[in-house]
Amino acid sequence: MPASRLARIKFLIQPCGQDLNGHNHITTTGELLMSIAKGIKFIFQDWRRNNHDFKIRLVLLLFRIGQLLRKPWICRWTLFYPYYLFYKVLVFWFFHIELSLDLEVGSGLRIYHGYSLVIHPKTRIGRNVTLRHCTTLGNKGQAGGVPLIEDGVEIGCGAIIIGEVTIGEGAKIGAGAVVTKDVPPNSVVIGNPARILRR
């Protein structure tokens, strides 16, 4: 492929001439194709686990695209900020899902319904986590800590998890539970205030 055409494609795919990790070393067609393949894999990482709802698939696709566009920092005015405005209007205002592009979320996130889902931007979520509608993951105040949700956690609808708490791997949080303390791995938690039903 001619160098000028490669440069044009690089500008469209990675406008700062960077790969997905922010390194400046996309110099050949092969490296460019590899970068494109990684980008596609990144934005579709939640697709299979959400085959129950096309709306959620769309929301998570837009979420991952937004996260990808944040990587080349020098291009934020040309790509990220206009996209962020579009994302905010569609996902936050239209779908009522507060899924910030600043979130650290592992692959395989599954969301059921999603309506009125509120997640603090600094919350950290592991791999293969399941969330349901009307769930809140947040802090107790302006300077308070936020939850850490480990791999394989399942959270029921209407659950509230607030403060600097850790929800252990494989735990299940029942519908309507209010969690303000750490939850051990592989346990089931229900009620307000939350109590451990079994481990």
Shared-domain flag, residues 29 and 65: no
Give me the pLDDT at residue 7, please. 43
Interacting residues of 11 by C-beta distance below 8 A, sequence separation 6+ = 17
What is each CA distance from 97 to 87, 93, 154, in whole angstroms? 11, 8, 18
Shared-domain flag, residues 96 and 135: yes
Shared-domain flag, residues 173 and 109: yes
Shared-domain flag, residues 68 and 163: yes
- Peptide linkage before 193 cis (omega within 30 of 0): yes
Shared-domain flag, residues 157 and 132: yes
Number of structural domains in the chain: 2
Give me the pLDDT at residue 53, please. 92
Give me the pLDDT at residue 82, please. 86
Shared-domain flag, residues 106 and 8: no
pTM of the model: 0.80
Q: What pLDDT tens digit does each residue of the chain (199 aa) get?
A: 444 443 433 433 444 444 445 555 556 777 777 877 888 889 999 999 999 999 999 999 999 999 888 775 545 567 778 888 999 999 999 999 999 999 999 999 999 998 999 999 999 999 999 999 999 999 987 778 999 999 999 999 999 999 999 999 999 999 999 999 999 999 999 999 989 887 6
Give me the pLDDT at residue 4, please. 47
Q: Kindly compute the dihedral angle of the four CA atoms of residues 162, 65, 81, 70, in this order, to the nearest 10 degrees.
A: 80
Domain region containing 38? 1-43
Give me the pLDDT at residue 76, please. 59
Q: What CATH number has the domain bearing residue 115?
A: 2.160.10.10
Shared-domain flag, residues 88 and 186: yes
